[in-house]
């Protein structure tokens, strides 16, 4: 039987409870489709930092590399300084494993989840490709005269030819592979952030290799407007890291909010990381009120990446059916006890497999 080695990093806040539900479902799908998941638990996050001062020791990091995927619940806690744990864990994984694509599907399963008037599932089905290792996130920042009246703070937006090209190329390939409108939109702010001219040029160049795919362009400010006004215009969009961070939160709201949006941090062919887009929501932690649907969807994305497409499709289908039938009444906080949602999805997956 095929077995996959997965690192489970449940993390802070609601991370452990949603991770638990995600693996209930992933394990049930694995046994239904005849494979297994071997989990290595990685105890990292704010609790460990508070106890030991460790953020991400080398021994833990090196162990991660021997696996095929990493599942991350959530990271962040107000007891730690802003960004310390996020940068030490998520950013370290993204940069040091060179997870250069942040794949964020935005798909509406049921009209009731969408805050936009008159928009339904046929209007909201897009894939945002967020470049994941460069831009303002590259870490080139500094302060002069810190704390003084003349303090200067800088952070450099970094774009390499290779980084830009591989993100754009991934977007065109993903567009070709998916059953969409065969359109890729470049989202940038090249009119103000002049360095993003490299995105304009590389996009035009790569596009010539994909004559079957049409292209569009939107500045990030306008793209925010179009996403709300005419989300049906988007099929695949590719964008630098920081804009991708922002616009995918907006996108998450179109599909029902942080309780459903999932993402993959990918380096195709190498160990990659899957996580719900939401944060650790410390105020809801341990109360069994968080929606685990986003984490379960991240689990489905992980299975797809591992090559278990049928299992992934079965999980997505189960969630879609539960949402459309109203058995899952919503993906907000407190709508259902967290642990019951995982059970419902497991049951639905099993029933669908038995029927097939």
Binding site for Mg ion (CB under 5 A): 245
Task: Work out whether strand 69-74 and strand 183-188 pair parallel, antiparallel, or are unpaired.
Answer: unpaired
User: Least distance from C-beta 53 to Mg ion, angstroms?
Assistant: 27
Structure token pair of residue 336: 């259902």
**Cβ nearer to ligand IPM, comparing 9 with 311:** 9
**Cβ nearer to ligand IPM, comparing 24 with 278:** 278
Cα 135 to Cα 31, 128, 150, 155, 251: the distances in Å are 41, 16, 26, 10, 20
Q: Which does 90 bind (CB under 5 to 8 A by kind): ligand IPM, Mg ion, none?
A: ligand IPM
User: Least distance from C-beta 137 to Mg ion, angstroms?
Assistant: 11
User: Least distance from C-beta 167 to Mg ion, angstroms?
Assistant: 17
For residue 67, the SS3 value is coil
Cα of first residue to Cα of last residue in the chain, in angstroms, is 21
Structure token pair of residue 321: 């059916």
Q: Which does 285 bind (CB under 5 to 8 A by kind): Mg ion, ligand IPM, none?
A: none
- Looking at beta carbons, which residue is closest to Mg ion? 245
Q: What is the CA radius of gyration of the chain?
A: 20
User: Least distance from C-beta 90 to ligand IPM, angstroms?
Assistant: 6
* Cβ partners under 8 Å of residue 288, min gap 6: 17, 337, 338, 339
Contacts with ligand IPM by CB under 6 A lie at: 86, 90, 245, 277
Q: Which does 173 bind (CB under 5 to 8 A by kind): Mg ion, ligand IPM, none?
A: none
**Cβ nearer to ligand IPM, comparing 297 with 322:** 297
The answer to whether 186 and 215 are in contact (CB under 8 A) is: yes
User: Least distance from C-beta 33 to Mg ion, angstroms?
Assistant: 32
The answer to whether 87 and 44 are in contact (CB under 8 A) is: no
Q: Which does 135 bind (CB under 5 to 8 A by kind): ligand IPM, Mg ion, none?
A: none
**Cβ nearer to Mg ion, comparing 125 with 245:** 245
């Amino acid at each position: 039987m095929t077995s996959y080695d997965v690192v489970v990093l449940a993390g802070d806040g609601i991370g452990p409870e949603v991770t638990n539900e995600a693996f209930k479902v992933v394990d049930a799908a694995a046994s239904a489709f005849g494979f297994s998941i071997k989990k290595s638990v990685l105890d990292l996050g704010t609790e460990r930092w508070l106890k030991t001062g460790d953020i991400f020791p080398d021994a833990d990091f090196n162990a991660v590399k021997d696996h095929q995927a990493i599942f991350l619940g959530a990271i962040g806690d107000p007891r730690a300084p802003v960004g310390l744990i996020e940068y030490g864990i998520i950013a370290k994984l993204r940069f040091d494993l060179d997870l250069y694509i942040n794949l964020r599907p935005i798909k509406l399963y049921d009209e009731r989840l969408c805050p936009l008037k008159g928009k339904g599932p046929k209007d909201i089905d897009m894939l945002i490709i967020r470049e994941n290792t460069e831009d303002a996130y590259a870490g080139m920042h500094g302060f002069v005269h810190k704390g003084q009246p003349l303090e200067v703070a800088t952070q450099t937006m970094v774009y390499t030819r290779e980084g830009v090209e591989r993100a754009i190329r991934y977007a065109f390939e993903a567009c070709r592979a998916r059953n969409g409108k065969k359109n890729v939109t470049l989202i940038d702010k090249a009119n103000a952030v002049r360095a993003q001219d490299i995105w304009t040029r590389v996009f035009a160049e790569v596009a010539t290799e994909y004559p079957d795919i049409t292209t569009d362009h939107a500045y990030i400010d306008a793209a925010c407007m179009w996403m709300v006004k005419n989300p049906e215009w988007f099929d695949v969009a590719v964008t630098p890291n920081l804009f991708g961070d922002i616009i995918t939160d907006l996108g998450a709201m179109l599909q029902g909010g942080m309780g459903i949006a999932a993402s993959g941090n990918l380096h195709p062919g190498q160990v990659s990381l899957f996580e719900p887009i939401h944060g650790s929501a410390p105020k809801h932690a341990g109360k069994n009120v968080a929606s685990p649907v986003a984490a379960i969807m991240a689990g489905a994305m992980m299975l797809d990446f591992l090559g278990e497409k049928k299992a992934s499709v079965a999980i997505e289908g189960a969630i879609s059916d539960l949402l459309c039938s109203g058995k899952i009444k919503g993906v907000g906080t407190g709508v259902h006890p967290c642990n019951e949602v995982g059970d419902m999805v497991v049951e639905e997956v099993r029933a669908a497999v038995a029927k097939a």
